Amino acid sequence: METSSYAPRIAIIIDDLGNLMKNGDRIIALDAPVACSILPHTPYAVRIARRAHAAGKEVMLHLPLQPVEQFEVLSAGTIQIDTTRSEMRRILDFNLASLPYVSGVNNHQGSLLTRHPGHMHWLMSELRSRGDLFFVDSYTTRASVALRMAREHGVPSTRRDVFLDHTQTTAAIDAQFRRLKNLARSRGVAVGIGHPHTVTVEYLERAIPQLRADGFELIPVSEAIALESQPIVQAATFDTQSLGR
């Protein structure tokens, strides 16, 4: 595929949904195929999943994986470094069963677990055995091997390019959004992750119509993965520029 023949394409995931309904309905109402990634076993998880699916949004399991630095109690359904393979299978089943309409998975935290090839081998084997699930590496550490292991196991997959709202100000989000657009222009497709902060939702409500006016196409995450599997796009996806985050 010659990416220059197509509009630059952007996929957006909103993480950390489920604990509060605040802003959930506004995210679902966005006029774009924004993926809703939901933490399992949270109070509003099922409600958000059902509403997102009804609105044509992709529903993802925001799978908790152990981080290097632990500042709070781990989320329910977290896979940890001392989790055995059989326990991982049970936890994954437990998490997937808690949410309807799941089409893909991305990691919540996971800066410790995603750097371990053995655990990622187990996880990707389990995802592959479940059929049509895709995987997005949230890329919380440069040491992550999650994407490589996913592709080795034949799991449709990609990696986050930009966190939109690590700093929760309009100016900071705007700078990250410009970076996302530049990556999409240079590579053909780019993936951004945001969170259900009011400042993020308000920014997206304004930015999405402007994106289309500027010639960008907003696409589902699954479509971004399909595009990146094509040789020219895949080669461009993993240059040094894409690692500068």
Per-residue pLDDT at 234? 43
Domains for the chain: give ranges and CATH numbers. 3-243 (3.20.20.370)
pLDDT tens sequence across 40-79: 999 999 999 999 999 999 999 999 999 998 766 677 899 9
Give, in order, the Cα–Cα distances in Å from 232 to each of 3, 10, 92, 153, 228: 8, 17, 34, 21, 8
Report the mean per-residue pLDDT for the chain: 91
| Cβ-based neighbour number of residue 19 at 10 Å | 15
pLDDT tens sequence across 179-209: 999 999 999 999 999 999 999 999 999 999 9
pTM of the predicted model as reported, rounded to 2 decimal places: 0.90
pLDDT tens sequence across 98-145: 999 999 999 999 999 999 999 999 999 999 999 899 999 999 999 999
- Nearest by Cα to 147 from 176, 129, 127: 127
| Contact in structure between 235 and 25 (CB atoms under 8 Å) | no
- Nearest by Cα to 148 from 237, 86, 220, 78: 237
